[in-house]
Amino acid sequence: MSLRPEPIEPVPEETARIARLAFPHGSIWLRLRDELGTIYEDDAFAPLFPSHGRPAEAPWRLALVSVLQFAEGLSDRQAAEAVRARLDWKYLLGLELDDAGFDFSVLSEFRARLVGGHAELLLLQALLARCAARGWLKARGPQRTDSTHVLAAVRALNRIETVAETLRAALNALAATAPDWLSARSMPTGSTATASASRSRVCRRAKPPVRSTRPRWVPTASGCWRPSPPGAPQPGCARCPPWRSCAACGSSSS
């Protein structure tokens, strides 16, 4: 496909008249066309297309359709159908009422050209430039935390923390049930992997179980309670024997 840039015409009169009648109180996409125009121009996408071949669909329209598709969460088929059927989309795209639109596969081809030409940010940059020209964006102003890059970074960080927390919980469970097995397979303290993990908030090395030196009362084979040897590993709180007294010797358990 080749690109043959053409001047962008205003909204057709019949499309504008019917759209005003259908949306007497306005619409977000009608307002977008009235306030910001078409936003994109074909010349900005010229490096992505060859100079010879079958004429391509107007890139500025495909860019706008991609923005609308993302805003409304539509698939390629649904977006192509909206171009054919929805009046507010036709107004924004400057199409006649009887325009049949294009095949849905054109959208994926357009995205592939953007990625192949490393022009993914072209859509965002053009929109930001138009908003800055209207005075809606100012340098060194406050930034919303729901911007695309911030959300993407937070999502990636949450996934990393989830994996790290799962790994740490598994290591803690192993340290409580099989400390000797885990110690034999632990990496040396000075290794690069351990050093990198120690710098992470969520990648802490599992601690071995605490061994108490306080004598505790355990049942004997005869049913009598006696103190266990100091330093013996103790079970968890859920398995500690309740407070009991031995009728044979009068000792108590804790």
pLDDT in tens, 47-58: 888 777 677 788
CB count, 10 Å around CB of 183? 11
Query: Is-contact 168 137, C-beta < 8 A?
Result: no
Instruction: Name the average pLDDT for the chain.
Output: 75
pLDDT in tens, 30-70: 999 998 888 998 888 888 887 776 777 888 999 999 999 99
Q: What contacts 229, CB < 8 A, 6 or more positions away?
A: 215
Query: Is-contact 177 170, C-beta < 8 A?
Result: no
Q: Which residues lie across from 252 on neighbouring strands?
A: 245
Single pTM value for the model: 0.54
Q: What contacts 224, CB < 8 A, 6 or more positions away?
A: 246, 248, 249, 251
pLDDT in tens, 163-194: 888 888 888 888 888 888 888 877 655 444 44
Q: Give the per-residue pLDDT at 155.
A: 66
CA angle 73, 74, 77 (to 5 degrees): 170
